[in-house]
Structure 1
Amino acid sequence: MRTFAKLAAAAVLAAPLLLAVSGTANASTPSGCSSVTQIGSTAYLNVGGQTMASVKQYKGCGKNYSYLYVWEGYRSSHSSWDVCAAIVTNGGHDVQDPMCDHNSVELWSSGAATLSQCTQALGWTGLGPIPYIADGDVAVKTDVRC
């Protein structure tokens, strides 16, 4: 009986730890590529003084990807949002195959065949093909990776 009580107590103590681990956000993988690795830093898209999303750059399957994740805090305080993600080259001037969506929690850009170039992940608000900052879009880029 004592062994059962010890096991039950251990299970009760371990439950919060298991819940904390299972509650962490793990990025999915982009369409058509089952294995990617983050490269460079994470950038944060801040809108109206609130962190809206994280933007990261990944490489895998011979391509670079931009990944954007809209934070729970932003989602819980907003009923609607538009976001885009892309890889940029040439110092951030050339946008490679952006993906945009309405109310997405996770968004992967199309894979860009840019592994031989210096790249950054770009994430922004709005649905345009490029961020129109003058129109109120907010954009952020990760560090340059060569």
Structure 2
Amino acid sequence: MSLESGIYTIKCKLNDNLVGRHLVEDRSGNPKPVYALGAGNEPPQWVVEKCEEGYILSNNGGRAASIDDKLFAILMEEEFDSAENWVIEAQPHQGENLYTVKTKSQSKAWSQTTEVGSEPDTFIIAVDYFTVRESLPVQYLPQNLFEFVPISDMQD
């Protein structure tokens, strides 16, 4: 069950926090942190593009990339080459619309941390080694599970 290209909201299973860039950012072209956002935020929209080498994920015009093992959005087109192609794997045995988002090598994955971000009511999304529970099928921890909800489903 692969994820189709489209526009989605993304939530972390850990505490149902929406994933995206904070509404208040500096105006530079520097990469912007991507957070697990607390309650009261508008659902950020993600463009998910399926390609031969995985998926390209973009939020608010910035492409998702790992910088120093944290999730960022790259804004400058000339830097898009440093953006990641992600491996998105369905985990239907753990819930509807739940996925893991891993690096191309599949050695690291998105993980919501309890570390507070630079903006109030935000948590850092790490791109780090992950732990699984030994079982068949493999069980991922809630901080490594992300719910992808198509925007069209939200409007119905």
TM over 0.5: no
RCO comparison, higher one (Cα < 8 Å, 6+) = 2
Q: Decide which structure has the larger Cα Rg and report it.
A: 1
Name whichever structure is richer in helix by fraction: 1
Name whichever structure is richer in strand by fraction: 2
